[in-house]
Structure 1
Amino acid sequence: MAVRRVVPNIQSGAAQESREFYGLLGFEQVMNHGWIMTLASPSSPAAQISFMTSDRTAPVNPDMSVEVDDVDAAYAVMRESGAEIVHPLQDEEWGVRRFFVRDPGGRVINVLGHR
């Protein structure tokens, strides 16, 4: 299993203001579903930051997203370790397969893979 990218998820009701502010640093919008918006660096596309109001299909907002090349393997490893699964593995209508797990510090991690 390999990590493809890590994205901080910031809970915010100020998406437009954040897009303008981080645009001053060179970030551009690469995704906007209304409830979550992701900005990325054009010169380094894996350098990303997301802003969300509330997760559309999960019971909590994740603190961070970790994209892996094999989300099913990541899910199996986390379950076998005894880690707390906060949101079960599922396919989402926007093209990702994901689950949420709580890290030792209490942060909720969205572990995902693109289909």
Structure 2
Amino acid sequence: MTVRRVVPNLHSEAVPENREFYGLLGFEEVMNHGWIMTLASPSSPTAQVSVMTADRTAPVDPDLSVEVDDVDAVYETVRDSGAEIVHPLRDEEWGVRRFFVRDPDGRVVNVLSHR
């Protein structure tokens, strides 16, 4: 398994204000689905932060996203470990395959691969 990037997911109703604020730190918008916006560093594109109002298709909002090269393999490993799967493995209409798992401290981790 290869981790491609790790992105904190900030929960906020002030999405435009966060775009402006993180822009002061050098981030630029690279994705915006209305309910989630991702900002990235132009000089280091995997340095990212996402701002979300609420996850559109999951029962809970993730605290962190981890993009991996093979989400199916990671899902099997995590499931076999007995960790709590919060949102099942599925293909999303915006081009990712993902699942959510709860870490030992209760944080929800969105594990994904782009299709």
TM-score by length of 1: 0.99
1:22 Cα deviation from its structure 2 partner: 0.5
Following the alignment from structure 1 to structure 2, what is the Cα–Cα distance between the partners of residues 109 and 24? 27
Look up the match of 1:63.
63
What's the offset of the Cα at 1:65? 0.1
Q: Identity percentage over the alignment? A: 80
Number of residue-to-residue matches in the alignment: 115
The secondary structure found in structure 2 opposite 1:10 is: strand
Quick one: distance in 2 between partners of 1:5 and 1:105?
Answer: 21
- Structure 1, unaligned stretches of length 5 or more? none
Q: Does 1:110 align with 2:110?
A: yes
Q: For 1:60-101, what per-residue CA distance to the aligned partner results, in whole angstroms no more than 9, with x for missing partners? A: 000000000000000000000000000000000000000000
Query: C-alpha distance in 1, partners of 2:17/2:24?
Result: 11
The aligned counterpart of 2:17 is 17
Which amino acid in structure 2 is aligned with residue 109 of structure 1? V
- For 1:1-115, list aligned pairs within 5 A: 1-115=1-115
Long gaps (5+) in structure 2: none
Structure with bigger strand share is: 1
- Which amino acid in structure 2 is aligned with residue 105 of structure 1? D
